[in-house]
Amino acid sequence: MWVKSSLLFLPKRLRKFALVGAWGAEYTERMTQPLRWLQSEIADRMLQKLDIVKLVPKDILLIPDFPGAHAELLSKRFPEVAFHSVAEEGLSGIDFWRLKVARKWRNVFKGGSSTCLEVFRRTSRIELPDNSVDLIFSDLLIQDLPDPKYFLKECWRVLREGGLLTLSYLGPDTGKELREIENSGQLGIRPLLSPWDMHDMGDALLGERFSDPVMDMELIKLDYQSNVLMLSDAQAMGLIQPLQTSQQFLELPKKLTLELVYGHAWVLGKHLAKAQNQVAYIDPKQIQRKTISDPD
């Protein structure tokens, strides 16, 4: 596997690009749970990006939440944090049990809550009160949402003033090799529900009132010796329809590109109302009375 260097995002009016160092690793593990190995790897990279962020959260929302080392690493970095878990769908029995026990045990002492991603998909609402978390950690979710703007709106709602949204997702170049050979329709190519590139996300974050969005991207190339394994991974990532036996005998590429998009953005000035008719309105709660002490 190799990784192409990343590009840094700035809003269109200030757009400049800078190269970010690239690095790679080799993988031999097959995805038994959809995106499991990829979720864990990308979560690790997201945590590294958080190393330069100065934030002391009390409440963290994991959406989606899944079995992995990311929660334990967040716990070590922020020992007093309470986790709010939105568990991914389709967990196997033992994985679901372990995840539930791990989060419940911590919640007994630190507080927190648990729900299922299916609830968010059905209602487009995160089951948390307004202003209830300081950090949202979202690993590989955006590409599976019909309209990510609803997700961004909910993140803005549940984040406290000064809170941070950090996210990752599959970008539009993911699986481009499969699209290039799709002539007969035998593969059953499925487009990503939200094929947003990093500029789309950066602009959407600004549109939902997030501040200082920073986006970057990297291209990961996966090498395959087996059609079966490649097709299995492609299906797990939602790039093709359910597997058919005949697909195994197609002339398929031996490489698969994954475009990984990363980003974070802050919630600042949350209590300032949006400008209307070129007039800015200030929340009365933000107006403070200044008193002058008697010099005597």
How much is the pLDDT for 185?
A: 64
133-139/159-170 β-pairing: parallel
Mean pLDDT of the residues in the chain: 78
Q: Is 107's pLDDT higher than 80?
A: no
- Selecting from 3.20.10.10, 3.40.50.150, 3.40.640.10, 3.40.250.10, what CATH number does the domain 2-271 have? 3.40.50.150
Contact 193, 148 (CB under 8 A): no
Q: Of 97 and 231, which is predicted with more confidence?
A: 231
Grade residue 103 by pLDDT with cuts at 50, 70 and 90: low
Instruction: Convert the pLDDT of each residue in 246-284 to its tens digit.
Output: 666 677 888 999 999 999 999 999 877 554 444 444 444
Determine which of 5-9, 113-117, 246-250 has the lowest per-residue pLDDT on average. 5-9
Q: What is the pLDDT of residues 56-82, one digit of tens each?
A: 999 999 999 888 788 888 888 888 899
Q: Domain locations in the chain?
A: 2-271
Cβ contact 279:209 at 8 Å: no
Q: How confident is the model at residue 112 (pLDDT cuts 50, 70, 90)?
A: confident
The dihedral formed by the CA atoms of 99, 103, 105 and 109, expressed in degrees to the nearest 10: 170
Binned at pLDDT 50, 70 and 90, residue 125 comes out as very high
pLDDT band at 38 (very low <50, low <70, confident <90, very high): confident
pLDDT one-digit tens code per residue, 20-33: 222 233 333 333 45
Decide if 65 contacts 166 (C-beta within 8 A): no
Grade residue 163 by pLDDT with cuts at 50, 70 and 90.
Answer: very high
Residues 65-91 as b or e (16 or more Cβ within 10 Å = b):
bbbbebbeebbeebeebbbbbbbbeeb
pTM of the model: 0.78
pLDDT of residue 201: 98
